[in-house]
Structure 1
Amino acid sequence: MIKMSSMDKKSLALLCALSLPVHSASEEQALNKATNYVDNNVLQVAAEMNNLVEKSVFLEIDHFQQRQIMVGEYGRILVRENFDSAWVQANVPVQTTITAVEFIDDKVAWAVGHQGVILKTIDGGYNWSKVFDGIQLTGLLKTSLEVQVTLLTAEFELAQSTGIDEDSLDELEMQLDDASYKLEDLTVNSGIEIAFFDVLFNAANYGLVIGAYGAMLETKDGGENWQYIGYQVPNPEGFHLNSLTIDDNNNIYIVGEAGLGMATSDQGQNWRSLNIDYIGSLFGIEVNGTSLYSYGLRGNMFASQDQGATWQHLDTGVTNHIFSADWLNNQELLLVGAGGLKLVYNGNTFENISKNNQRIDITSVKIVDDNVITTGLRGWQASSKSKLGQGGLK
């Protein structure tokens, strides 16, 4: 067993994804093994009800108006109608870790997690259904790679016949070899080994899911069907994709491992790279008008005032990993992270309001009216905005 003294929501997701077995038998034998494995694993077993569920590890929280949903380990999802009501444990058909959740309206929400799981609720979060998992993801990976190999083969053969420069030909050959290798290396368990880290719907019909190893899914029909588009975006190395957000002009932004950033202005038809000039992991990105703020490892944070065209490094004054952020108001951003980090940025300066006696990692934060709600490795916490300057959350 791997033991970790401190765990953020991305490493927690990767821990499970990286520990799953990969079979090398024939396809039929591997399918049987995968089926037997899945029949007894977290994809097929409903989350257990637990009287102490509020003390579990939770990785993200979202809200629509007053209603709130928290998601975390073992398929545990909590929902409540408003800040003063009690949390209710939801009925969830899986026991895999759920890493992210997003409301569409007061009834519909989506959640994603380990083993390629996508969940949906249509009753405000009390009951969830599994609409997708890693077994289906394997099929999408296979189809997408087959298309890539076909297109790259045709492009390479055309390039050979037209006599393009040697460097360009070598690059095409490398891309073809890489796609061919990935296709040959694919097993029926490949999709189960992928964890999803975030989900976003900018309309009832169009949605994106991102995750480990460059995984990226798209739906144009409200989640009825999904397409794998991870090989169609500017991420040839397959870096992990950690977080995505959207601005008022419907521009979608994604950040991830190795300083990776990308954006689309036309619902995924075309993507452009964000040149953040950073080689570490970015865990989140926030929008304020035309301004963007991305944050990640060791307190690193970057700002763009021109929708991602250029970026500036900000000196946060801390070395704690920053995992999540939300707006206290139109100007102040509350950032949270490792070691109980709580940091307020007002657009010019940072104020560290962490409490010295609270070192538990904070995995996410949401501002609901005057209330500040956080999730972490020991459940959830809450306080009012007015108490932030008095030493942090209770």
Structure 2
Amino acid sequence: MTSFFWKPVTRPVVWAVFACALPLSAGAQMGGKVDFDPLPPQSYDAEIMPRADKDLALDVTWTGTRYIAVGDRGHMLVSADGQDWVQVPMPTRAALTSVHFVDEDYGWAVGHDAVILRTTDGGRNWELQQFEPGLEEPLHDVVFLDRQRGLAVGAYGLAFKTEDGGESWEDYEAPAIRNDEFHINRVFPLTDGRLFAVGEYGMLAVAEGWDGEWRRLQPPYDSSFFGGMALKDGGVLVYGLRGTAYVSRDLSAVPDIDPDFDPVLGGGESLEGEGWVEVETGTTNSMFGGVDIPDGGFILVGLNGEILRLSPDLKVQARKNTESESPLSAAQLGPNRELILVGEGGIENAELP
């Protein structure tokens, strides 16, 4: 999942501190050149904070046995009931933007400094698989098809893949979604096995499975999409800036992107959108996250704490705002059919609208 109201995360300035503390050699004192290697980038453990559940949170998921939420400063929180949260130790202070579990034991989280982490015990313990602060680019989302095959995507077309459970990550060759260097905000599987990606400047793309080539789709809207969800019939729901949402029940009816289409010059306008149907959300609040609900409908959440409930036929059934009205980035359904919400105000709960 991707959110766009992160607090800036200050990277450790190890080298600056180290350099200031060094005594000058005779050569340096006389203006000569001194050759030595700087300290390599380091990842520091997250601090255990007494109110971590009230700090910026960016994603939440259900593993099958517990809820996991991630956020600023490397915070990782675990809950059995969605009400009481415990922060677990993490080997990074980078802001974590997305968490994904393929089963109740194996999960991955990604974030700033291109960090990737894995757990094999349901979120109790996490290991650092990748830390690349030199890239100066965050990862926005991670998805695994099984315990071995996974993708991590992010800013400016950043993308990595693994086929060994993250023991090694390599650059992902996918020109259709990477060559323009647009932010890739979300990647997820459809119910028929295809993969779908959404991003800025109307970037929408589909791939025919793990080894399939990506196909850029003509968008129905010329500005950013922040997320999407698979429909049971193989279609897809996408949502994003200014409350825009669209559905395609048949992606084969959506043409490839027009070579003359220049989304960078777009003004956030609806397009003809062949193969797409607009969902009338009735709001201009950007939508950042969503979740399926048991009746076959959907929940979308976004700016000003707005919560939209969509029916199975994608009509707005109800809407409400949280008491805090803080921006929301993701949601999960709690054990008592309440919503578990994460965002700028941390973790909060709300009844279904």
* TM-score normalised by structure 1 residue count: 0.72
Query: What is residue 247 of structure 2 aligned with on the other side?
Result: 303
CA deviation string 1:67-86 (max 9, x = no partner): 110000000000123446x3
Q: Given that residues 353 and 388 in structure 1 are in contact (C-alpha distance below 8 angstroms), is that contact kept between their aligned partners in structure 2? A: no
- Secondary structure in structure 2 of the residue aligned to 1:100: strand
Structure 2, gaps ≥5 residues long: 14-33, 255-274
**Structure 2 counterpart of 1:312, from 252, 267, 277:** 277
**1:314/1:46 Cα in 2 relative to 1: closer, same or farther (>3 Å)?**
same
Within the candidate set 109, 120, 123, 1:122 is matched to 120
Distance 1:348 1:51, change over 3 A: closer
Distance 1:361 1:31 in 2: 47
Distance 1:87 1:274, change over 3 A: same
Letter in 2 for 1:12: W
Aligned partners of 1:49, 1:126: CA distance in 2, in Å?
14
Q: Tell me by how many angstroms 1:350 deviates.
A: 1.3
Offset of 1:223 from its aligned partner? 1.0
Displacement of 1:30 after TM fit? 12
The residue correspondences of 1:219-368 to structure 2 (distance < 5 A) are: 219-229=162-172, 232-289=175-232, 290-307=234-251, 309=254, 310-346=275-311, 347-355=313-321, 357-368=323-334
- Rounded Cα–Cα distance in structure 1 between residues aligned with 2:345 and 2:57: 8
Residues 102-251 of structure 1: pairs in structure 2 closer than 5 A: 102-134=100-132, 189=134, 191=135, 193-229=136-172, 232-251=175-194
Give me the whole-angstrom Cα distance separating, in 2, the residues matched to 1:357 and 1:363.
16
Compute the displacement of 1:32 (Å): 4.3
Identity over aligned residues, as a percent?
Answer: 28
- CA distance in 2 between counterparts of 1:249 and 1:45 reads 41
> Deviating runs (4+, > 4 A) in structure 1?
15-18, 29-33
Q: Secondary structure at the match of 2:44?
A: coil
Change over 3 Å in CA distance of 1:112–1:303 after alignment to 2: same
Q: Cα offset for 1:216?
A: 1.0
SS at match of 1:208: strand
Counting only pairs closer than 5 Å after superposition, residues 18-167 of structure 1 correspond to structure 2 as: 32-33=37-38, 35=39, 38-39=41-42, 44-83=43-82, 86-134=84-132
User: SS state of the match for residue 201, structure 2?
Assistant: helix
Q: Which residue of 1 aligns with 2:27?
A: none
**Secondary structure, aligned partner of 2:283:** coil
Distance (Å, rounded) in 2 between the aligned partners of 1:98 and 1:338: 20
Q: Measure the CA separation in 1 of the matches of 2:179 and 2:203.
A: 11
**SS of the counterpart of 2:6?**
helix
RMSD: 2.5
- In structure 1, what is the Cα distance between the partners aligned to 2:10 and 2:245? 27
SS in structure 2 of the partner of residue 9 of structure 1: coil
What CA distance in whole angstroms lies between the structure 2 residues aligned with 1:100 and 1:357?
Answer: 25
Residue in structure 2 matched with residue 174 of structure 1 by the alignment:
none
Taking the aligned partners of 1:236 and 1:83, their CA distance within structure 2 comes to: 40
**Pairwise CA distance, 1:357:** 4.9
Q: Would you say the 8 A contact 1:275–1:311 is kept in 2?
A: no
Deviations 1:229-249 (A, max 9, x none): 255334421100001111222
Number of equivalences: 307
Deviation at 1:215, TM superposition (A): 0.7
Give the unaligned 5+ runs of structure 1.
Answer: 1-7, 21-28, 136-188, 390-394
* Superposed CA offset, 1:267-317 (max 9, x none): 044111122232211110101122211000100111100146322222211
Q: Which structure has greater helix proportion?
A: 1
